[in-house]
Structure 1
Amino acid sequence: MNNKFEALKAEDSGEEEEETFRPAPIPGEGEHPLQYNYALWFSRKSQTNKTVRYDQNLKFIASFASVEQFWNIYSYIVRPGDMSGHVDYHLFKEGIRPMWEDEANKHGGKWVIRLKKGLASRCWENLILAMLGEQFMVGEEICGAVISIRFQDDILSLWNRSNDPGIVSRIKDTLQRVLNLPPNTIMEYRAHTDSMKDNTSFRTTDHFKR
């Protein structure tokens, strides 16, 4: 399957062309608007240049404001399970960059779920559809989601704004329901402040630490 978007093509070819962020278009007549606008990002760890910073690897793909716009984008990108190497998709609310340091993220954290190979595409689709459909019922807490394709297993994460125990627990319950995970699936919650302390010199190491 071919990618439609230049950000993905540039990464696949080894080029360092940066795709500039563009706001989501206004929903067209008859379209179903989402509660929030979203932006889809892509990153691939460089195998040749070890000095590339994390934010330099982030490539904007597209943004959308309606159900129809989302499916128009989603139908033209390769599913996570069909990708290889050290790559990530990031789907975040428009205006929030998929970085710990972003104002919306820095006081929150993320649920991290390790997936056996073969589950990435199904779990990613179930998660982002639940997120777009506001199934988590935690107000504005949800910031975005990431799927990280790795060599031995894949990693799914859902980012939120605060570390309130009640909210964190409610998000976990919804995650377990919408993903229908096997009983032995490993789930871990990580506060972004802890991640930043553990990785104060991080800019070139494994993206999973993000």
Structure 2
Amino acid sequence: MCKFYNLNVPDRRSGESGIHNHVNNDDDDRNQDDPLQPYVPPHEHKLEYSYWMWFSRRPPARELSATTTGYGQALRLVGRVASVEQWWGLYTHLARPAELPPLSDLHLFKLGIKPMWEDPANVNGGKWVVRLRKSQTGRAWEDLCMAMLGEQFMVGPELCGVVLSVRFQEDHLAVWHRTASDIQAAGRVRDALRRILQLPASVPIEYKAHGDCLRASANASTNVNTNPTTNTNATPNTSRHEEERS
């Protein structure tokens, strides 16, 4: 991981310094579903995989309405990176965890994998989640990103992405992988997460299979549809399941 810190220099290429308020406007002009490979100049240090960063923010429950944008539509592409230099060019323009409002999420995923349960790379997978005090989140999030970019989890294509979830009282970090049924792979991801963040054995790490989350979300929607209320302005109580996506 040392090379990532040794090469911590801003990207000075013209036209790529305009990442403000968590969103790269250059990517807004392209199809956000298109996993366009970033160009890597010969002098840059190419990563093992290419990545894209996404930002999302879920409105508080009191602001939810029948017209509230769904989770997938709320995702906004921040940028794509394929080299160490491109990563630092993106990262230096991103807001730090302490600067993000509650209910915000940052998702660093391998290029082509969207941070959604339904994505083909995620649908049979799961995630490890650790809850941290806000004073710990900034460094932990940076270390987690560095570990993913530097292949410190040592599970190759099994790893899908990492997520920062800013909440009111504490923050969550999650590591997503492809195969929930592969107990050995899941165990390696968990052990690497504990090592990378230097978590004591007393700190719990929770596992959630995406299939279970999908079924719970579907059941919640079914219950709402089969038990209508007399209040036509009532909002389905699915906010908990939307939060589980992070």
TM-score by length of 1: 0.88
Structure 2: any 5+ residue segments left out of the alignment?
Answer: 1-16, 222-235
2-structure distance, mates of 1:71, 1:195: 33
Q: Which of the numbers 53, 70, 81 marks the counterpart of 1:40?
A: 53
Q: Aligned letter for 1:70?
A: W
* 1:104 matched to 2:121: yes
* 1:148 matched to 2:165: yes
Q: Aligned letter for 1:161?
A: R
Offset from partner CA, 1:96-151 (integer Å, 9 cap, x none)? 00000000000010001111121111111111111110111112100001100000
> Residue 192 of structure 1 aligns with which residue?
210
1:43–1:133 distance in 2 versus 1, CA, 3 Å = same
Larger radius of gyration: 2
> Residue 87 of structure 2 aligns with which residue?
70
Q: Aligned letter for 1:205?
A: S
Secondary structure, aligned partner of 2:186 = helix
> Residue 208 of structure 1 aligns with which residue?
243
Q: Deviation above 6 Å: which 4+ runs of structure 1?
A: none
Offset from partner CA, 1:17-67 (integer Å, 9 cap, x none)? 897426242111210111111000000113445322111110001001101
Q: Which of the numbers 8, 22, 25 marks the counterpart of 1:8?
A: 22
Q: Aligned letter for 1:5?
A: I
Q: Are the counterparts in 1 of residues 21 and 94 from structure 2 also a CA contact under 8 Å?
A: no
Q: Aligned letter for 1:101?
A: E
Q: Aligned letter for 1:36?
A: Y
Secondary structure, aligned partner of 1:169 = helix
Structure 1: any 5+ residue segments left out of the alignment?
Answer: 11-16
1:118–1:196 distance in 2 versus 1, CA, 3 Å = same
Q: Which has the higher helix share?
A: 2
1:18–1:113 distance in 2 versus 1, CA, 3 Å = farther
Offset, 1:186: 2.4
1-structure distance, mates of 2:138, 2:31: 26
Offset, 1:182: 4.2
Secondary structure, aligned partner of 1:114 = strand
Secondary structure, aligned partner of 1:118 = helix
Offset, 1:155: 0.7
Offset, 1:208: 2.7
Q: Aligned letter for 1:191?
A: A
2-structure distance, mates of 1:196, 1:76: 34
2-structure distance, mates of 1:24, 1:76: 20
